[in-house]
Structure 1
Amino acid sequence: MKMVSVVAGILGVGVLVGVGLAVTNPEQSAFEEFAVQRIRDDACKEMPLGLAQQCPQFVDDNKVELKKIVTQSTERRDFLIFSYYETNLSVRSIIPQLSLLPGLPAYRFETVGLFGKFYIYEAQKY
């Protein structure tokens, strides 16, 4: 009888954790906010030719458009208790006017949304 209680307790905790994960699985709109903030905080530092100083203001002024670009550049897979995001972004897709400049970076990110937060577990610059 004691073993049944232990198993039931473990199953109960498992169900609670699963429900907690499902309830806190972030939405696509939250990922868009996260991605735009990462562009502002991290990618702007990589901008060439003194554009790094202007980049944060550009991101702030064009947040709606950047969210659209992030959405178009991201594949989301929702597994109910977490979401997986694969994003391929390039400076050219964000600022087409700079497409003539050589050496502009492109990025590939793999991100997991879990417990209401996002965790980038792979980032490649190419």
Structure 2
Amino acid sequence: MKMSRLVAGVFGVVVLGAGAALAMTNPKQEAFEEFALERIREDACKELPLGLDKQCPKFVDDNRAELKKIITQNTERRDFGVFSYYETNLSVRSLVPQLSMLPLPSYHFETVGLFGKFYLYEAKKR
């Protein structure tokens, strides 16, 4: 009987410790915005037509504050304490309204924030 209580106690401490570690390392919204900007700069810029892909990284760098606002407005965050779930819908038109005459894509992203990192597990081009 004592051994089963000891095992249960150790298991409980491990579970509580893991939960506390997850909660303390759950990334914040600001970190997600930086992550999203880097994904736009590194991945989405490559998808742009007509040589815009070459200008895009500089555009992202020069307009970080404005782009963060757009990302925040188009992202729904669900915070579960030990991890966060982010669902983002972005269109290139919302990022660069001056290019509205071009057939530009929009994207849907689903991301999990866990242990201080982000894991993009779904990205759809529309």
- Structure 1 stretches (4+) deviating beyond 6 angstroms? none
Deviation at 1:73, TM superposition (A): 0.5
Counterpart of 2:111 in structure 1: which amino acid?
A: T
Counterpart of 2:15 in structure 1: which amino acid?
A: G
Q: Give the corresponding residue for 1:77.
A: 78
Counterpart of 1:111 in structure 2: which amino acid?
A: T
CA distance in structure 1 between the aligned counterparts of 2:100 and 2:75, rounded to whole angstroms: 21
2:18 aligned with 1:7: no
CA distance in structure 2 between the aligned counterparts of 1:3 and 1:101, rounded to whole angstroms: 67
Deviation at 1:55, TM superposition (A): 0.5
Unaligned stretches of 5+ in structure 1?
A: none
TM-score in terms of structure 2 length:
0.98
Identity of aligned residues (%): 67
Counterpart of 2:99 in structure 1: which amino acid?
A: L
CA distance in structure 2 between the aligned counterparts of 1:101 and 1:47, rounded to whole angstroms: 10
Unaligned stretches of 5+ in structure 2?
A: none
Q: Give the corresponding residue for 1:100.
A: 101
Q: Give the corresponding residue for 2:43.
A: 42
Q: Deviations over 1:41-87 (max 9, x none)?
A: 00000011000001000000001111000000000000000000000
Q: Give the corresponding residue for 2:65.
A: 64
Q: Give the corresponding residue for 2:124.
A: 124
For residues 11-26 of structure 1, what are the structure 2 equivalents within 5 Å? Answer: 11-26=12-27
Counterpart of 1:116 in structure 2: which amino acid?
A: G
CA RMSD of aligned residues (A): 0.5
Q: Deviations over 1:73-114 (max 9, x none)?
A: 000000000000000001000000001112x11000000000
TM-score in terms of structure 1 length:
0.98
Counterpart of 1:36 in structure 2: which amino acid?
A: L
